[in-house]
Amino acid sequence: MEIPENRLIDKIRRFADRSRDVLRGIGDDGAVIKLSQGSYVLVQDAMVEHVHFKFSFTNPYDVGKKAVYVNISDVLSMGALPLYFLVTIGITPALTSKDIGRLYHGMRQAAREFGAIMIGGDTTESKNDFFIDISMIGKLVTKTYLGRDRAKEGDLIAVTGSLGESAYGLHLLLEGKPTKGMSTFLKRYASPKPPYPVWKEIVKHDITRAMMDISDGLLIDLGRMMAESKKGAVIHLEKLPIPPLLRKKNKEVLALSGGEDYQLLFTFPKSRLKKIQGMIQQGYPISIIGEVKQGKDVTVLSQGKVYEAPEKGYEHFGNSR
Amino acid sequence: MEIPENRLIDKIRRFADRSRDVLRGIGDDGAVIKLSQGSYVLVQDAMVEHVHFKFSFTNPYDVGKKAVYVNISDVLSMGALPLYFLVTIGITPALTSKDIGRLYHGMRQAAREFGAIMIGGDTTESKNDFFIDISMIGKLVTKTYLGRDRAKEGDLIAVTGSLGESAYGLHLLLEGKPTKGMSTFLKRYASPKPPYPVWKEIVKHDITRAMMDISDGLLIDLGRMMAESKKGAVIHLEKLPIPPLLRKKNKEVLALSGGEDYQLLFTFPKSRLKKIQGMIQQGYPISIIGEVKQGKDVTVLSQGKVYEAPEKGYEHFGNSR
């Protein structure tokens, strides 16, 4: 590490916003916060260099931003609003003091968009692999949590936003292709901001009990939700929100199997269909893509026929692309 | 990674104890817990291979145990009791599925001793450096938190247990010395259980407002407490709880500068001296080692003369030994 731990902590401390419910923030063995009675969501999600990202594709500012976004995405997916977070970074010799500053800048930027406050964490050396690991606490704002285990037979399946954008952004970077006019894709890869406005609308109208974010690709993640709910699913390729460019380039598979879109996947009873259609008419980015069935498999139909996806998504950056 | 993420999570899930306040544990985007109104302590502390430990000296079971202990130590130091924790592990190719099982075994063992429950986390690959990063939430049981910022001029300074044990244990391992009869030292290094009985007694009698654990060595950590409290300190080498073997071998410096003892350092007003002396007579391992002064330095006296410690402690395993 370029600078001693004590000085590093003084530097990091300046990135912590204040709140009167934070009785003690960075600078002690732990943070102390006041919490009211209720249900709270706790998440923890890491990003590791050479596995989830490379500094040659993503600058420290965006790494910090993304690390916060992915944790906020998990908190929102459970039906909670983020409050506080702690950050551990494992600093390799290659990282400069300025890089670390940019990293915390990115974190603070992303956190402020959702009102979350950094209250602590750990800084350590790491010999070869930089890592950032964030834990976050949020307060449930829905009546009960929105879980992967709560999809019901006959529910409709929906997703927010577009799918495959992040994976195509990464594809462009990996192939060294021209990126002019491709900022939608690159931005979704570098800085996947959770779809907050549509989340708020879904929560406000009490649309769902079963929600998760799409981090590893629609097929894998829908499969996980169905496994937890002990159900199956049928989805329709035509109904997926696939960017026209990806359809044109025959890259529809990225919408099924590309990861890191951090859009929301949720199910809802048919009794709520009118409400959802109203939201769609108002311009909220929601696509109804299929239905929950008995059984345990996820079936993709294309023009009514079973479609076999060429690959089932990826688990990590480093080994499958 | 040897086994796919889904199967790994199923495996880890079996190590999570149950509680009726855990509404949703491992298997979703986040955990959901019920909390009563109050003040809570949040901590997050990591251990990185090649920096904090090596698998050649510490087996996966002990790594898991230690990672939980160091977080519990931080929670206790703030005046709180641990409740729940989340674990991120970065798994290198060298780790087997059995190693990971042993790691979670160790974590559960340590957590159960303090009633803490694992509720979530993340598993990821790491190319070269294994790491484990734990976040933990505890509930404050003291009237106000016990902080590094609360030492007052005229307070006496005390520590629990013995100092230098862990560092001497590591020294034995690094030098490849005979370890027969050395289990006290080796055990403190491998598995530093926080001094729970004496902590309970200190908290029960409302002895202190300023406490921290000694993770990086007494001199560094007392220096940090004094810096946060904007005070200075004088301590006496003769009064330090140094194991006779270390005095005999002229290794007193390990009590000042060796890390990882995870004993408690605290200050208390002189009005509480009688109470503390009573606790010491009852056999609680407490040593009164000095006094808080105006100023900002930590001065060590030996036979009344200023003692210059040969080294000021270490920050990490990898580079200073």
Q: How confident is the model at residue B316 (pLDDT cuts 50, 70, 90)?
A: very low
User: Which residues of chain A does B140 touch, with a Cβ-Cβ cutoff of 8 Å?
Assistant: 32
pLDDT of A61 over the 90 cut: yes
Domains in chain B with CATH codes: 5-140 (3.30.1330.10), 148-310 (3.90.650.10)
Q: Quick check: B124 and A316 CB within 8 A?
A: yes
Q: Quick check: pTM over 0.90?
A: yes
% pLDDT > 70, chain A = 96
The token duo for A290 is 């299929």
User: Which residues of chain A does B149 touch, with a Cβ-Cβ cutoff of 8 Å?
Assistant: 24, 27-28
Q: In this complex, is the C-beta atom of A36 within 8 Å of any C-beta atom belonging to chain B? A: yes
User: Which residues of chain A does B42 touch, with a Cβ-Cβ cutoff of 8 Å?
Assistant: 30-33, 84, 86, 119-120, 135, 137
Residue B160 bridge partners (DSSP): B286
Q: How confident is the model at residue B2 (pLDDT cuts 50, 70, 90)?
A: low
Q: Quick check: A78 and B124 CB within 8 A?
A: no
% pLDDT > 90, chain A = 89
Residue linked to tokens 């000085």: A7
- Indicate the average pLDDT of chain A: 94
In angstroms, rounded to a whole number, what is the distance separating the alpha carbons of residues B319 and B321? Answer: 6
User: Which residues of chain B does A35 touch, with a Cβ-Cβ cutoff of 8 Å?
Assistant: 35, 37-40
Model confidence over B44-65: pLDDT tens digits? 999 999 999 999 989 999 999 9
DSSP state letter for B53: B
Model confidence over A11-50: pLDDT tens digits? 899 999 999 999 999 999 999 999 999 999 999 999 999 9
Q: How confident is the model at residue A318 (pLDDT cuts 50, 70, 90)?
A: very low
Model confidence over B252-280: pLDDT tens digits? 999 999 999 999 999 999 999 999 999 99
What is the pLDDT averaged over residues A136-151? 97
Q: How confident is the model at residue A321 (pLDDT cuts 50, 70, 90)?
A: very low
Model confidence over A209-266: pLDDT tens digits? 999 999 999 999 999 999 999 999 999 999 999 999 999 999 999 999 999 999 999 9
In angstroms, rounded to a whole number, what is the distance separating the alpha carbons of residues A133 and A193? Answer: 18
How many CA within 13 A on the CB side of residue A302? Answer: 7
Count of pairs with CB atoms under 8 A, one residue in A, one in B: 226
Q: Best of B119, B135, B136, B220 to disrupt the A interface by mutation (most A CBs within 10 Å)?
A: B135
Model confidence over B210-247: pLDDT tens digits? 999 999 999 999 999 999 999 999 999 999 999 999 99
DSSP state letter for A310: S
User: Which residues of chain A does B266 touch, with a Cβ-Cβ cutoff of 8 Å?
Assistant: none
pLDDT of B318 over the 50 cut: no
Report the gap between the CA of A116 and the closest CA in chain B (Å): 15
Q: Quick check: B80 and A30 CB within 8 A?
A: yes
User: Which residues of chain B does A88 touch, with a Cβ-Cβ cutoff of 8 Å?
Assistant: 44-46, 133
Model confidence over B67-114: pLDDT tens digits? 999 999 999 999 999 999 999 999 999 999 999 999 999 999 999 999
In angstroms, rounded to a whole number, what is the distance separating the alpha carbons of residues B245 and B177? Answer: 15
Q: In this complex, is the C-beta atom of A94 within 8 Å of any C-beta atom belonging to chain B? A: no
Q: In this complex, is the C-beta atom of A120 within 8 Å of any C-beta atom belonging to chain B? A: yes
Report the gap between the CA of A280 and the closest CA in chain B (Å): 26
Q: Best of B20, B22, B29 to disrupt the A interface by mutation (most A CBs within 10 Å)?
A: B29
Q: In this complex, is the C-beta atom of A319 within 8 Å of any C-beta atom belonging to chain B? A: yes
CB contact set of B227 (below 8 Å; sequence gap of 6+) = B296
Q: In this complex, is the C-beta atom of B130 within 8 Å of any C-beta atom belonging to chain A? A: no
**pLDDT at residue B308, rounded to an integer:** 86
Nearest Cα residue to B169 out of B158, B180, B183, B156? B183
User: Which residues of chain A does B208 touch, with a Cβ-Cβ cutoff of 8 Å?
Assistant: none
Model confidence over B173-215: pLDDT tens digits? 999 988 899 999 999 999 999 999 999 999 999 999 999 999 9
Q: Quick check: A42 and B120 CB within 8 A?
A: yes
Nearest Cα residue to B115 out of B71, B144, B84, B93? B84
**pLDDT at residue A179, rounded to an integer:** 83
- Indicate the average pLDDT of chain B: 94
Closest-CA residue of A relative to B44 is A121
Among B30, B44, B51, select the one facing A120 at the smallest CB separation. Answer: B44
What is the pLDDT averaged over residues B154-182? 94
